[in-house]
């Protein structure tokens, strides 16, 4: 069983990050090669993972006694506020279920639609039109480039828990430099898809660590 804790550092993060990571390395952690903000601990069957982002820390492990010992040591060295079970981290909501965790960004998606003024828009069933290449071209430059870039950038972060919009978001983001009115139509369609799928996310359940992929050979 994995136990997760959310902790907040009260000190300025830049000032304390080096001291924090030095302490963790002495404790037995190692830096992750995939993410410089993540450290992992793996000894005698105990596995702990710690993610430090700005002044927030997410700690997860499979042995509660070692996790509590680490938290106790951290409280002695740093001024911490223990938030207990994680429910929200970096805009990602964590729903605890009987089978594991469900990660989603419903609040983030709702705020994104509000920023775009599309809370009441009609939803569509796909993030990009199958006839997108035949979309009537309006090559005039979109008159609010800043808005386009803000919405496209926000959609990029939404793909953290929404791989179903990854391709359509990539298409939209390819035109951030000089978006046309046609590009903005594609972006609005993607937002309309998000409107109808705000509760989508990624379930995390226990099982074999085997990567399975599917492809359409046609």
Does residue 5 contact residue 60 with C-beta atoms inside 8 Å?
yes
Give me the CATH number covering residue 44.
3.30.160.110
Question: Which of 57, 86, 115 is at the close of a domain?
Answer: 86
Which pLDDT tens digit goes with each residue over 99-128? Answer: 899 999 999 999 999 999 999 999 999 999
| pTM greater than the 0.75 cutoff | yes
Terminal Cα distance for the chain, rounded? 42
What is the C-alpha to C-alpha distance for residues 29 and 31, in angstroms, rounded to an integer?
7
Q: In which domain, by residue range, is 76 found? A: 3-86
What is the C-alpha to C-alpha distance for residues 21 and 51, in angstroms, rounded to an integer?
11
What is the C-alpha to C-alpha distance for residues 52 and 196, in angstroms, rounded to an integer?
33
Asked if residue 50 and residue 112 are part of one domain, the reply reads no
How many domains is the chain built from? Answer: 2
Which pLDDT tens digit goes with each residue over 48-72? Answer: 999 988 778 899 889 889 998 998 8
- The pLDDT of residue 2: 47
């Amino acid at each position: 069983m994995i136990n997760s804790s959310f902790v907040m550092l009260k000190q300025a993060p830049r000032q304390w990050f080096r001291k924090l990571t030095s302490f963790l390395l002495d404790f037995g952690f190692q830096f992750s090669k995939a993410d410089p903000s993540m450290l992992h601990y793996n000894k005698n069957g105990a596995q702990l993972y710690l993610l430090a982002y700005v002044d927030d820390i997410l700690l997860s492990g499979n042995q509660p006694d070692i996790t509590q010992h680490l938290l106790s040591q951290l409280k002695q060295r740093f001024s911490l506020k223990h938030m207990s079970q994680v429910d929200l981290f970096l805009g990602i909501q964590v729903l605890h279920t009987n089978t594991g965790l469900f990660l989603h960004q419903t609040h983030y998606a709702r705020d994104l639609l509000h920023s775009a003024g599309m809370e009441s828009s009609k939803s569509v069933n796909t993030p990009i039109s199958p006839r997108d290449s035949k979309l009537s071209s309006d090559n005039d430059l979109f008159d609010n480039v800043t808005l386009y870039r803000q919405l496209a950038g926000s959609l990029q972060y939404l793909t953290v828990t929404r791989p179903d919009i990854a391709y359509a978001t990539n298409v939209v983001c390819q035109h951030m430099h000089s978006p046309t009115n046609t590009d903005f139509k594609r972006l609005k369609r993607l937002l309309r898809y998000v409107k109808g799928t705000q509760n989508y996310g990624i379930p995390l359940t226990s099982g074999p660590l085997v990567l399975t992929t599917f492809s359409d050979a046609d």
